[in-house]
Amino acid sequence: MHPERYRLLRQGLPGEGPVLYWMSRDQRTRDNWALLFAQERALQTKAPLQVVFCLVPEFLQANRRHYAFMLQGLREVERALAAKAIPFQLLPGEPAEVLPRYMQQIRAGCLVADFDPLQIKRLWKSRVAEGIEVPFYEVDAHNIVPCWAASPKQEYGAYTLRPKIQRRLFEFLEDFPPLKKHPGHYLEGTGGTDWAAALKPLPQAGELLPAATRPGEKAAAQVLGRFIETGLAAYDHSRNDPLQDGQSRLSPYLHFGQISAQRVAWEVQRAAGPVDSKKAFLEELIVRRELSDNFCFYNPRYDRVEGFPDWAKKTLDQHRKDPRDYLYRFDQWERGATHDDLWNAAQQEMVRTGKMHGYLRMYWAKKILEWTAAPEEALETAIALNDRYELDGRDPNGYAGIAWSLGGVHDRPWGERKVFGKIRYMSYNGCKGKFDVKAYISRHLA
């Protein structure tokens, strides 16, 4: 395994007990560098291997639709691990409380976690590290070029990160070794997780999604296969049209780690198809996505106006007093009850389906800035709606996407105008020039 794929979070005296993989961001058995690293260590020390998932009842405004999708995926993980004689343990509760105790119980010899730049995850890890004695590793199983290997600092934009990623891609973009059946293991009578009981303490509010988006590793692989078959060739020119089904629809699976971005990149670059479409897709999947992790990893204020670049904070301050043409309360935004039918249609698409087309997400966020009294309130509103309704929400891509839209992160200053200052503006007429707005509205506005 590439030595830069993992790092030691905490020294410690390795014990003889099982190597424990604390699964969190990368919820899959195939193509999972954290799981492969844990198995490598277990085989070296002839130790058992176990996987644990700490299930918290609240996670960044997640509700029933997100937990249902995630738990379905985890059931599949449990079954796939059992086929490799690797026990899976669901641990309800806060990681700092339940994990050190569980590790005592099973006398774990070493802890392995997957990488996640979000503040909440870094807090979890630092608290767990205080409560254990054994070595604690972190493996970047989410990015192709590990976040810390791609760049040692926050990048200005795709144009500064791209060359750094391209320089090292050949080192890291490789096929995966298979996960082995773990020797010396038998799943003595573990009847598996009581998944119905696991659902009980979780949020019951919020309606479930239409069954169209099926969760889990198998479903994710099918979505990838279908995209390569039917969507990739036209990706370059259809991805910005919300009326065509031109995007891959992979983001919920990437968010929950039910598919590896490296697997997606590996299959796409080997697939037949026009080079410019493959290039355009890999730019989003690799550069844009890794840029989001870079932003959240090196900028702890990724979900605050303080996290915007100085030029953006300055220009927004200069226009704080500009009169807003409209002002909406949170419940009006949430219900899609503004004067703008395009905005309302996009909001309703998201509430109903758990997804909004990438092009409209920019317009959607920018209008919240335009028709809210202050940037802080706009940011809070956009994050709350994105994290409550988007299936792929609560993700570095979301914080970076919203910070790009409202605060010029990874963007540059544009022509000055009211409210926005030099933040890039998007207009209803601009959308009309891109796609058939009327058709989109009639399709999504109830």
What are the CA-CA distances from residue 376 to residues 171, 312, 317 (Å)?
Answer: 41, 13, 11
Amino acid at 253: Y
47 or 391: whose CB is closer to ligand FAD?
391
For residues 162 and 182, give the distance between their C-alpha atoms in angstroms, rounded to a whole number: 39
Cα separation, 307 vs 295, in Å, equals 9
- The Cα 120–Cα 145 span in angstroms is 23
Ramachandran region, residue 75 (left: φ > 0; alpha: ψ -120 to 50; beta: rest): alpha
* Number of other residues whose CB lies within 10 A of the CB of residue 320: 11
- Among 54, 286, 291, 383, indicate the residue that binds ligand FO1 (CB under 6 A): 54
- Partner touching 35 among ligand FO1, ligand FAD, none, CB below 5 to 8 Å by kind: none
Residue closer to ligand FAD (CB basis): 198 or 234: 234
Residue among 269 and 353 whose Cβ is closer to ligand FO1 = 353
In the complex, minimum distance from the CB of residue 6 to ligand FO1, in angstroms, rounded to a whole number: 17
- Cβ proximity to ligand FAD: between 5 and 255 the closer is 255
293 binds ligand FO1 (CB under 6 A): no
User: Cα 142 vs. chain centroid, distance in angstroms?
Assistant: 9
The CA distance from 121 to 393, in Å, is 15
Asked if 24 is part of the footprint of ligand FO1 (rule: CB under 6 A), the reply reads yes
Q: What span, in angstroms and rounded, lies between the C-alpha atoms of 344 and 78? A: 40
- Closest C-alpha to 124, from 199, 29, 56, 78: 56
Binding mask of the shown chain, residues 368 to 397, with x at each position contacting ligand FO1 by CB under 6 A: --------------------------xxx-
- With the C-alpha atoms ordered 32, 34, 35, 36, is the resulting torsion angle positive or negative? positive
Site string for ligand FO1, 393-432 (x = CB under 6 A): -xxx------------------------------------
**Among residues 116, 46, 45, which one has the least CA distance to residue 293?**
116
What mask of x and - would describe binding to ligand FO1 in positions 199 to 218, judged by CB under 6 A? --------------------
25 is a contact residue toward ligand FO1 (CB under 6 A): yes
Q: How far is the CB of 21 from ligand FAD (least distance, A)?
A: 23
Q: Which of residues 98-137 bind ligand FO1 (CB under 6 A)?
A: 116, 118
49 vs 409 by CB, closer to ligand FAD: 409
Order the strands of the 136-139 sheet from edge to edge: 6-10, 136-139, 110-114, 19-22, 49-55, 88-92
# residues near ligand FO1 by CB under 6 A: 17
DSSP string, 286-301: IIIHHHHHHHHHH-TT
Interaction partner, residue 86 (ligand FO1, ligand FAD, none; CB < 5-8 Å by kind): none
In the complex, the residues that contact ligand FAD under the rule CB under 6 A are 239, 247-251, 254-255, 284-285, 288-289, 292, 358, 361-362, 365, 386, 390, 392-393, 395, 397-398, 401-402, 405
The residues binding ligand FO1 (CB under 6 A) are 24-25, 54-56, 59, 62, 66-67, 70, 116, 118, 255-256, 394-396
